[in-house]
Each structure stands twice: as C-alpha cells, then as structure tokens.
Amino acid sequence: MFEPGVIAAVVDVLAELAAGGRALELGIGTGRVALPLAARGVPVHGIDLSRAMVARLRAKPGGTAIGVTIGDFATAQADGSFRVAYLVFNTIMNLTTQEAQVACFSNVAAHLDPGGCFVIEVMVPDLRRLPPGQTAVPFRVSQNSWAFDVYDVATQAMSSNYVEISDGAAEHSYFPFRYVWPSELDLMAQLAGLRLRERWDGWTRKPFTSESRQHVSIWEKPAS
C-alpha cells in the first residue's frame, strides 16, 4: 500500500481525472493518497469518521492544508463541488449494508461537477477459493499468527480476522465488511445517475478479466 510506485500509480490516475479541479477523498484517513495528490497541485478535501486518524494526517507535512469534514462518508456533506471523488483500498466495504453503499453513491453524485468521476478500488469477492462446505479463506499463515476472511454468502457480510499468539496467549481482532460485486456497484451508480466509464484490473490500467481479483472502476456524471 505504501510503496512509492504503488502510490504514484494511484496519484497519476486521480490527478488526470481531476483535470485541474478539486478532489474528494472518502475515508481520507491519515492521508496516504491525499497528501501526494495534493503535492501534485490537486486541491483535496476529505471526509472521515475518525478524528484520531485525521489528527495523524494533520501531523504530517502538508496535512494542515487539507480540509476534512468529520462524518460518515455515505451521508456527510462537504462544501463545494468536485471534479473527482474516490474510495481506495476496499473502503467501500466499510459500509456494512447495501443501503449505506447505495447512499454513498447518491452522496458522491451530489458532490460531483457535471462530467466529474467517482473512482473505487475494491477486491472481487474471493468465493472461488472457499473450500466446499467452508466459509473461511486464509490469507496469511505463520507460526504465531493467522489471518483469514470469513464470508456469509447469504447476506454478503464478511469479516477479516487476525489471530496473534504471544507468550502462550491468543489475541483475536475482527473487522466487519460487506463485500460487493462489480455489477452491483454498476447498478448503484446507475441509481445515482452515473455511468460506467472504465474498469481496470488495477491502477496500472491492465484489462479487467474474469481472473481479476480486484478492480478500479470509474463512473462518470453526465455533463448535461
């Protein structure tokens, strides 16, 4: 996530889409993307629910120059309009109901300039890796730690789980999400008056295929 080449590819796409206009980051966090994007001359505003994470953003060089609205990015209103809005690294899944995800698209559409774009980077649900009759997919295993995703295919609820063993004691961390399919996102966009412009396998713009495990999708607000 933090490798310079990875961040540069993200910023290249977003700066191009901003085209001299303003950018809105939903879930701005500590500024991993916002700060280098602002350094490219793009005016960035953020929305985030966590005051602690925004404080970490403010402590970084250039962080005090980025405006942030504290609130739920599905509904919070920021001042002005924007040429591009974006949600990176699976953050759309932090909204754990379909209703909240639909509301997010509607909220973004209301913030976009005509011709502006909404960008989402998110995983493709990895259900093909589920063993028959099981609901968990491990993604990190070592002698003293395990990490695995748990899926509920009936509700599209999922969670990422982390187990750490230290001094013979186990500590379990749990983070809830709602996974979402590309076609479902397209319908949410359509309901918000947006239309699909591009979909890639990632920020390097490789084609999205049936084997892709993530996607970067761009929806556009009609110019008129």
Q: Which of 144, 160, 177 is the last residue of a domain?
A: 177
- Provide the pLDDT for residue 214: 97
- Residue spans of the chain under pLDDT 70: none
- Provide the pLDDT for residue 28: 98
Rounded-to-integer distance, Cα 130 and Cα 53, Å: 34
- Provide the pLDDT for residue 21: 98
**Beta strand spans in 56-202 (E):** 67-70, 82-87, 112-123, 136-141, 145-152, 157-166, 169-178, 195-200
Q: Are residues 73 and 171 in the same domain?
A: no
Q: Are residues 67 and 170 in the same domain?
A: no
Q: Are residues 29 and 133 in the same domain?
A: no
Phi, psi of 50 (to 5 degrees): -95, 110
- Provide the pLDDT for residue 201: 98
CATH of residue 29's domain is 3.40.50.150
Which distant-in-sequence residues (6+ apart) come within 8 Å of 208 by Cβ? 182, 199, 200, 201, 215
- Provide the pLDDT for residue 153: 92
Q: Are residues 41 and 108 in the same domain?
A: yes
Q: Are residues 37 and 89 in the same domain?
A: yes
Rounded-to-integer distance, Cα 171 and Cα 194, Å: 43
Residue-range definition of the domain harbouring residue 161: 127-177
- Provide the pLDDT for residue 139: 87
pTM higher than 0.85 for the full model? yes
- Provide the pLDDT for residue 224: 77
Contact call for residues 108 and 189 (beta carbons, < 8 A): no
Contact call for residues 124 and 36 (beta carbons, < 8 A): no
- Provide the pLDDT for residue 1: 72
